[in-house]
Amino acid sequence: MAYDDVILKMGEFGRYQRRIYLMLCLPAILCAFHKLAGVFLNAKMESRCLLPFENADNATFGLPTSILNASYPWDAKASSWSQCERYNETSGGWANSTVKCQHYVYNRTQYASTTASQWDLVCERDWLRATGDSIFMVGVMLGSTIFGALSDKFGRRNIFFLSLVIQLVCGIAVAVAPDFITYVVFRAIVGSTTSGVFLVAYVIALEMVGPKKRLIAGVGCQLFFTAGYIMTAGFAYLITDWRLLQLAITLPSVAFLLYWWFIPESARWLITNGRMSEAREILLKASKENGVDIPESVLEQLLDEKDNNSTPDTNKPSVFDLFRYPNLRKKSMLLFFNWLVNSGTYYGLSWNASSLGGNDYVNFVISGLVEVPAYTFLIFTLNRWGRKIILCGCMIVSGSILVGTLFVPRDMTWLTVTFAMAAKLVITASYGAIYVFTAEQFPTVIRNVGLGASSTFARVGGVIAPYIIYLSSVWEPLPFVIFGLSSLVGGMLSLLLPETLNKKLPETIADGEAFGKKLKKKGKKNNCVEERMNEIDPQK
């Protein structure tokens, strides 16, 4: 009897699961805050050189046109006066030669302060803002690997709370950072904890529901993230000082520390690690809350089989097992590439929302709102059409739309933006589908490591996305072309993965290697496969 059989008996998504699930989804809102608040924390502010006759403490951004004409050269590319140079002052007035700004005056109409105004990250230092975002994603990447491995070794629950504590402490450190380097370092650590909080909570939620309810569980987590995405704009609109904004998105973590007394360990993880009595206690409690009476004999049958069939603890699975066996290796590499493409395209289009023109907050909300129909689409299709066809179809459609921007006239900016938002909608659906699809591909003993490794490759996409966007300065459509072609290739490669709809989750490494692998019933080749399977799991 498999663990999923017990879930079916006690209720696939009963009252107990719904209560725990809701509690686990709420921290996803905080993860969205930290991942996307950088758009406002690091927002670029209009600037100009501080003129020699101005006082830095009380200088205002606006100046009469006559002074602007006399003080600043005209920047034809930006269609405005230069923000980085001013005319050189001489004893007889203003000379025709220019000098770079030594000090800046910022337009504080929209933002009271950002890291750009705090540390003058403008003009020749503007690249530091993009680098700061990339280093944050490096932190997310490292966190997905580190916390994923730790949660498989020490338990989902322990690592979830460790991540919350680190996120709270380092989030406050970001808000009081005295210099840019300190800010970047602590923000990278916060980025790493978003993986520990979101991914671990996601796995706990997915492991406690039945096969037919994994879709609701998986997509629901994403919708909570989207809610945090949209709420970020609200926080930023009300709090225009970047330090106060950082505190506002960090302090709610305190409330989630109270979860220690309410969130249990994953019963599936406990069984896999031989902690049968603890698993029995959780399953009995869940069944009672769901109003289902599971006979003791059923639980004993499950736990006895797991105990008898489990391999010794001497060779615990690791991330290397994803590459040690041919079928797992093929599936892992395909998933890793698709995670990289999905993440790079998703964040590239999200961070590029300012191309809509107009109000930054409105643009950001629109970019978040398009995710709602994307996830709604998944709810109605993933359990009907299957995971593979959705992933494949969405990536191909998104790629086609992005490549299609090549044929949009350059003066029709609104149409280019429409294409970009349509592609964002579709790639969001793809991103949501790949979370569910990936978690169902990897066996329980290495699921969090597999999901963490996949997320690592996703962060590689997030790290390089700002630099791909920067290529628009070379050729405006180039970022869309790169994202589009990558999505097309990833979509076609996803056809090589096995479908997981309504399938029992693989438990052991041997299960994961056999899943989706066509075995011949007779002949030498089948004997070789069986021998190889015995090497993976002698009990099989």
Statement: residue 90 has pLDDT above 70: no
Confirm if 401 and 422 have CB atoms less than 8 A apart. yes
Q: Which of 288, 493, 525, 278 is nearest to 392 (CA)?
A: 493
Letter for the amino acid at 312? P
Higher-pLDDT residue of 409, 231: 231
> What is the structure's pLDDT at 526?
46
**Which tens digits make up the pLDDT trace of 426-466?**
999 998 888 778 888 888 778 877 877 887 788 889 888 88
Alpha helices by DSSP H, listed for 58-126, are 65-71, 115-118
The stretch 10-30 carries a mean pLDDT of 85
Query: What are φ and ψ of residue 160, in 5° steps?
Result: -60, -45
Alpha helices by DSSP H, listed for 109-259, are 115-118, 127-154, 156-175, 180-207, 214-238, 242-250, 253-256
> What is the structure's pLDDT at 235?
93
SS3 251: coil
Higher-pLDDT residue of 514, 313: 514
Q: Give the torsion sign (CA, 181, 183, 186, 189).
A: negative
Q: How far is CA 277 from CA 260, 282, 283, in A?
A: 20, 9, 10
Letter for the amino acid at 497? L
**Which DSSP symbol is given to 85?**
E
Q: How far is CA 296 from CA 16, 210, 286, 475, in A?
A: 19, 20, 14, 67
The stretch 242-247 carries a mean pLDDT of 95
- For 61-99, b/e burial (b = at least 16 CB within 10 A) is eebeeeeeeebbeeeeeeeebbbbbbbeeeeeeeeeeee
> What is the structure's pLDDT at 262?
85
The stretch 80-109 carries a mean pLDDT of 78
Please list the residues that pair with 75 across neighbouring strands.
80
**Which tens digits make up the pLDDT trace of 99-146?**
888 888 898 888 999 999 999 888 888 888 888 888 998 888 888 778
> What is the structure's pLDDT at 540?
38
Q: How far is CA 512 from CA 99, 222, 327, 438, 539, in A?
A: 64, 25, 8, 12, 15
The stretch 278-288 carries a mean pLDDT of 81
**Cα–Cα distance, 459 to 142 (Å, whole number):** 9
**Which tens digits make up the pLDDT trace of 300-334?**
776 665 545 444 444 566 777 788 888 888 888 99
**Cα–Cα distance, 237 to 245 (Å, whole number):** 10
> What is the structure's pLDDT at 527?
46
Q: How far is CA 528 from CA 53, 475, 519, 523, 539, in A?
A: 85, 54, 10, 9, 16
Higher-pLDDT residue of 400, 505: 400
How much is the mean pLDDT over the chain? Answer: 82
**Which tens digits make up the pLDDT trace of 186-219?**
999 999 998 788 877 777 777 778 777 777 777 7
**Cα–Cα distance, 526 to 514 (Å, whole number):** 12
Statement: residue 377 has pLDDT above 60: yes
SS3 392: helix
Q: How many CB atoms lie within 10 A of CB 134?
A: 18
Alpha helices by DSSP H, listed for 370-446, are 371-385, 387-404, 413-441
Q: Which of 365, 390, 392 is nearest to 375 (CA)?
A: 390
> What is the structure's pLDDT at 355?
57
The stretch 504-515 carries a mean pLDDT of 78
Confirm if 363 and 445 have CB atoms less than 8 A apart. no
**CA gyration radius, the chain:** 26
Confirm if 319 and 397 have CB atoms less than 8 A apart. no
